[in-house]
């Protein structure tokens, strides 16, 4: 794509980067076929190519974001399916991130929108506050019946529609908190490695059992696991809302604490069980590339970051000898398959664990979770969820496996053809169970008798 940035504009490193990205796009439109919003809405401006044109026009002419640009960029899930499809290697992620920052800085959103976004950006990265807000949301949920209903198929979200979506996402109960920060879990037997495990924000409140399963499986296989004190939210949520000031401050703080840990006690890897966070931490080197004090340190942290399945794939695991008859539908989180290009490995590990693994049709399409998307764009998110759930149900699974808490909450549970509810658990919970850990809590309620591992 031909660009016409002036020399003065190109002096700005962000514009230089945007110019490089835009020049790679050859307008072929292959990306439109796999873009969830284009598939649903059929509008070129809700496709990657359409958004690329809108962003190019805004940046090249140094325009303030127009309501049209904001509408179509806001509708983008940042699922990155377009990056997997693009034959020219267009880094859409870095381009849309830049557009979101410009929108956040220069576009006057309505007051209710600003309030909601500020609240989400403040509450979600703080686990204590998030836990309180989940309790409040649960108590307030009956009030949604009093809110006026909105017409079906409405793609322009309203404040009340967003509030309704937020309340609906609150689980009916919360599990007890997981282990405290600063705790180190020693390797069982001979020590073969040492890792830090990202504690996450929402995940440690909604499903602390995920990291507990990771700790069990890793320590059983000779890996010491540290929950590093002073670690923060990775910044992913605010990064995708265009609040770069907040996201970069968190990236710097985490770079400092993990660098200290690596230098003092040694780290083979920084493991992540929430793939949305993993995609962001792996990008720290890029995010802080212009910061002379942090660029090298952040690149080192990014290189240490691994999804938990990547690390387990390199361990000498005593996989069970026997197969079981549990059918697992593998839901491939966008951040894992498109963001980190991890596609076959989780399924391979599940198969080695003895499960019968099934691919989900249209697995490249997002489930609609996408950070805060299911709150900010509730109608599109709901339509994507329904499509995903129908696709999962079509393979008749006993259980659904996913590597991202956002997807797990969005999918919730899947109604099987016989009307029973199919639970959604994290991949590491199944791997842990199959190699000697306890049965995941959700499966205790939904499956009769031990068919694998321990009860």
In what helix (H) or strand (E) does residue 372 lie, and over which residues does it extend? none
Contact range with ligand SF4 by CB under 6 A, out of 46-54, 311-319, 391-399, 426-434: 46-54
Pick the closer one to ligand SF4 by CB: 37 or 133: 37
CA distance 302 to 306: 9
CA distance 156 to 377: 8
Q: Please tell me whether residue 35 binds ligand SF4 under the rule CB under 6 A.
A: yes
Pick the closer one to ligand SF4 by CB: 48 or 200: 48
To ligand SF4, the closest distance from the beta carbon of 45 in angstroms equals 11
Among 15, 21, 31, 288, binds ligand SF4 (CB under 6 A): 31
Q: Please tell me whether residue 29 binds ligand SF4 under the rule CB under 6 A.
A: yes
Contact range with ligand SF4 by CB under 6 A, out of 31-39, 262-270, 307-315, 434-442: 31-39
Among 2, 4, 7, 27, binds ligand SF4 (CB under 6 A): 27
Among 14, 30, 358, 393, binds ligand SF4 (CB under 6 A): 30
* Residues with Cβ within 8 Å of residue 224, at least 6 apart in sequence: 184, 185, 186, 187, 191, 193, 194, 195
Contact range with ligand SF4 by CB under 6 A, out of 57-65, 73-81, 242-250, 311-319: 73-81
Q: Please tell me whether residue 33 binds ligand SF4 under the rule CB under 6 A.
A: no
Among 48, 242, 339, 403, binds ligand SF4 (CB under 6 A): 48
Radius of gyration of the chain (CA): 22
Q: Please tell me whether residue 42 binds ligand SF4 under the rule CB under 6 A.
A: no
Give which of 163, 150, 171, 169 is closest to 116, Cα–Cα.
163
Q: Please tell me whether residue 335 binds ligand SF4 under the rule CB under 6 A.
A: no
What is the phi/psi pair of residue 432, to 5°?
A: -65, -45
Rounding to the nearest 10 degrees, give the CA dihedral for residues 354, 358, 359, 361. -170
To ligand SF4, the closest distance from the beta carbon of 57 in angstroms equals 15
Rounding to the nearest 10 degrees, give the CA dihedral for residues 447, 449, 453, 455. 90
Q: Please tell me whether residue 329 binds ligand SF4 under the rule CB under 6 A.
A: no
CA distance 308 to 323: 23
What is the phi/psi pair of residue 212, to 5°?
A: -65, -35
x/- map, 7-26, ligand SF4, by CB under 6 A: ------------------xx
Helices of type H across 124-193: 127-140, 159-169
Q: Please tell me whether residue 367 binds ligand SF4 under the rule CB under 6 A.
A: no
CA distance 353 to 317: 10
Among 6, 61, 88, 421, binds ligand SF4 (CB under 6 A): 88
CA distance 3 to 18: 10
Give which of 284, 95, 380 is closest to 103, Cα–Cα.
95
Give, in order, the Cα–Cα distances in Å from 164 to each of 76, 167, 414. Answer: 21, 5, 21
Q: Please tell me whether residue 118 binds ligand SF4 under the rule CB under 6 A.
A: no
Rounding to the nearest 10 degrees, give the CA dihedral for residues 96, 97, 98, 101. 120
Q: Please tell me whether residue 384 binds ligand SF4 under the rule CB under 6 A.
A: no
Among 10, 11, 28, 119, binds ligand SF4 (CB under 6 A): 28
CA distance 71 to 86: 23
To ligand SF4, the closest distance from the beta carbon of 70 in angstroms equals 14
Helices of type H across 232-319: 236-239, 244-264, 275-281, 284-287, 295-304, 308-313
Q: Please tell me whether residue 100 binds ligand SF4 under the rule CB under 6 A.
A: no
Contact range with ligand SF4 by CB under 6 A, out of 13-21, 78-86, 201-209, 265-273: 78-86
Contact range with ligand SF4 by CB under 6 A, out of 47-55, 317-325, 396-404, 417-425: 47-55
To ligand SF4, the closest distance from the beta carbon of 43 in angstroms equals 12
User: Residues 209 to 248: which contact ligand SF4 by CB under 6 A?
Assistant: none
How many residues can be counted in the chain?
Answer: 455
Q: Please tell me whether residue 82 binds ligand SF4 under the rule CB under 6 A.
A: yes
To ligand SF4, the closest distance from the beta carbon of 64 in angstroms equals 22
Residues that bind ligand SF4 (CB under 6 A): 25-31, 35-37, 48-49, 51-52, 76-82, 85-86, 88, 90, 92
């Amino acid at each position: 794509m031909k660009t016409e940035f002036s020399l003065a504009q190109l002096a700005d490193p962000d514009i230089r980067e945007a110019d490089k990205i835009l020049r790679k796009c050859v307008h072929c439109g292959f990306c439109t076929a796999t873009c969830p919003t284009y598939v649903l809405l059929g509008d070129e401006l809700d496709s990657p190519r359409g958004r690329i044109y809108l962003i190019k026009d805004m940046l090249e002419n140094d325009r303030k974001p127009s309501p049209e640009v904001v509408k179509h960029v806001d509708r983008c899930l940042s699922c990155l399916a377009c990056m997997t499809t693009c034959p020219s290697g267009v880094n859409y992620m870095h381009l849309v991130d830049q557009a979101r920052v410009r929108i956040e800085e220069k576009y006057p959103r309505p007051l209710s929108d600003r309030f909601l976004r500020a609240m989400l950006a403040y509450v979600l990265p703080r686990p204590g506050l998030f836990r309180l807000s989940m309790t409040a949301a649960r108590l307030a949920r009956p009030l949604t019946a009093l809110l006026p209903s909105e017409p079906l198929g409405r793609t322009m979200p309203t404040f009340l529609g967003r509030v309704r979506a937020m309340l609906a996402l609150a689980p009916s109960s919360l599990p007890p908190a997981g282990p405290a920060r600063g705790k180190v879990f020693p390797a069982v037997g001979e020590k073969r490695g040492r890792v830090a495990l990202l504690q996450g924000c929402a995940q440690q409140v909604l499903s602390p059992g995920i990291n507990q399963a990771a700790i069990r499986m890793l320590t059983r296989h000779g890996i010491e696991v540290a929950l590093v004190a002073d670690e923060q939210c990775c910044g992913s949520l605010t990064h995708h809302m265009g609040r770069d000031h907040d996201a970069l401050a968190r990236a710097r703080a985490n770079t400092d604490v993990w660098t200290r840990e690596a230098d003092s006690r040694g780290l083979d890897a920084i493991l992540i069980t929430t793939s949305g966070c993993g995609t962001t931490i792996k990008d720290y080197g890029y995010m802080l590339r212009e910061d002379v004090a942090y660029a090298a340190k952040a690149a080192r942290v990014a290189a240490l970051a691994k999804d938990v399945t990547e690390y387990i794939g390199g361990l000498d695991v005593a996989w069970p000898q026997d197969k079981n008859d549990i059918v697992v539908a593998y839901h491939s989180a966008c951040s894992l398959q498109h963001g980190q290009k991890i596609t076959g490995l989780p399924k391979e590990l599940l198969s080695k664990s003895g499960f019968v693994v099934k691919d989900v049709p249209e697995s490249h399409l997002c489930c609609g979770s996408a950070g805060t998307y299911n709150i900010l764009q509730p109608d599109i998110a709901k339509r994507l969820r329904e499509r995903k759930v129908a696709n999962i149900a079509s393979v008749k699974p006993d259980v659904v496996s996913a590597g991202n808490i956002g997807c797990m909450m969005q999918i919730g549970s899947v109604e099987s053809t016989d009307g029973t509810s199919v639970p959604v658990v994290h991949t590491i919970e199944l791997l842990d169970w199959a190699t000697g850990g306890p049965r995941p809590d959700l499966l205790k309620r939904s499956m009769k008798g031990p068919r694998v591992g321990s009860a």
